[in-house]
């Protein structure tokens, strides 16, 4: 856990700005982490000990501005406090550093991501994930793991994150009507977990097959159940 010298009074999340008021550069900075969160909401539907934030400020010191990744995952925290939900993620309230942060490289790239690499390492974030669809010669997905205070690039696609119990990787697929390369969660064998839309399609296919079998038996599917 990051250590810092703080004043006796620490503001709550409700008293801190919930945004840095910097607009995202493109839709992908919202859609990519949004898809990862949507899959988790189905995959971990019964778990209440995790939180995935999107474009949300992480406050690590009351006198400094927050760090705002495109997405981040914390384990061992409440998924939500009440119906108002979290306006921001405040480390002195949560007492848990995010285990993973995600940055989707924008077209305004300068030294932002190397700067954040140092900041996330200082916080103790275990995994720093960077994705850029604009790369041609370098891997579009980079997964860095914090080892002895420094980030080490992990090989593979997907990359297994043993401390989380999931893998993360990229491949072509369709989400929100757009077919392109997306980031997904994977199991330990490298099998991709389906998106909500894919799960609905799978359920519809199973229902159609069941209805067909019932008709073959001379049973009206509408009369069952």
- pLDDT of 1: 45
Given a contact cutoff of 8 angstroms between Cβ atoms, the answer to whether 72 and 102 are in contact is: yes
Give me the percent of the chain exceeding a pLDDT of 90.
Answer: 58
pLDDT over 60 at 49, yes or no? yes
CATH-assigned architecture of domain 27-193: Alpha-Beta Complex (3.90)
Q: Cβ neighbours of residue 213 under 8 Å, at least 6 residues apart?
A: none
Quick one: CA dihedral 206, 208, 213, 214, positive or negative?
positive
How far from 86 is each of 36, 83, 89, 94, 210, CA to CA, in Å?
19, 9, 7, 11, 43
Lowest mean pLDDT among 5-9, 99-103, 169-173: 5-9
- pLDDT of 183: 98
Q: 């980031």: which residue's tokens?
A: 183
Lowest mean pLDDT among 103-117, 139-153, 169-183: 103-117
Q: Is 132 helix (H, G, I), strand (E, B) or coil?
A: coil
In this prediction, residue 120 has a pLDDT band, given cuts at 50, 70 and 90, of very high
20-34, 143-157, 191-205: which has the highest mean pLDDT?
A: 143-157
Nearest one of 129, 127, 51 to 93, comparing CA atoms: 51
- pLDDT of 73: 98
Measure CA 206 to chain center: 29
Nearest one of 111, 108, 123, 106 to 32, comparing CA atoms: 106
Range 96-106 average pLDDT: 93
pLDDT over 60 at 18, yes or no? no
Q: Cβ neighbours of residue 129 under 8 Å, at least 6 residues apart?
A: 100, 101, 102, 103, 141, 142, 143, 144, 168
C-alpha span between 160 and 114 (Å, rounded):
23
Lowest mean pLDDT among 71-80, 107-116, 137-146, 176-185: 107-116
Give me the percent of the chain exceeding a pLDDT of 70.
Answer: 74
- pLDDT of 200: 79
How many residues appear in the chain? 225
pLDDT over 60 at 185, yes or no? yes
C-alpha span between 77 and 138 (Å, rounded):
35
Q: Where does residue 213 rank: exposed (0-12), middle (13-18), buried (19+ CB within 10 A)?
A: exposed
In this prediction, residue 122 has a pLDDT band, given cuts at 50, 70 and 90, of very high
Q: Is 8 helix (H, G, I), strand (E, B) or coil?
A: coil
As given in the structure block, the two tokens for residue 98 are 């995010």
Quick one: CA dihedral 20, 26, 30, 33, positive or negative?
negative
pLDDT over 60 at 109, yes or no? no
Q: Residue 184 forms beta bridges with which residues?
A: 169
pLDDT over 70 at 26, yes or no? yes
């Amino acid at each position: 856990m990051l250590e810092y010298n703080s004043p006796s009074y620490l503001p709550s999340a409700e008293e801190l700005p919930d945004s840095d008021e910097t607009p995202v550069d493109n839709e992908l900075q919202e859609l990519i982490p949004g898809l990862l969160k949507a899959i988790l909401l189905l995959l971990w539907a019964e778990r209440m000990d995790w939180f995935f934030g999107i474009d949300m400020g992480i406050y690590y010191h009351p006198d400094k501005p927050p760090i705002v990744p495109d997405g981040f995952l914390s384990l061992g925290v409440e998924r939500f406090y009440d119906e108002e939900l979290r306006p921001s993620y405040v480390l002195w309230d949560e007492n848990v550093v995010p285990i993973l942060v995600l940055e989707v490289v924008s077209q305004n790239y300068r030294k932002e991501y190397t700067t954040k690499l140092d900041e996330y390492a200082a916080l103790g974030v275990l995994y720093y994930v960077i994705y850029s669809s604009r790369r041609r010669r370098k891997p579009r997905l980079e997964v860095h793991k914090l080892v002895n205070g420094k980030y080490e690039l992990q090989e593979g696609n997907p990359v297994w994150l043993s401390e989380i119990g999931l893998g993360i990787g990229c491949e072509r697929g369709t989400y929100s009507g757009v077919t392109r390369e997306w980031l997904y969660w994977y199991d330990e064998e490298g099998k991709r977990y389906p998106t909500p839309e894919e799960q609905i399609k799978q359920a519809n296919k199973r229902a159609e097959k069941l209805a067909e079998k019932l008709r073959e038996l001379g049973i009206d599917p509408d009369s069952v159940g």
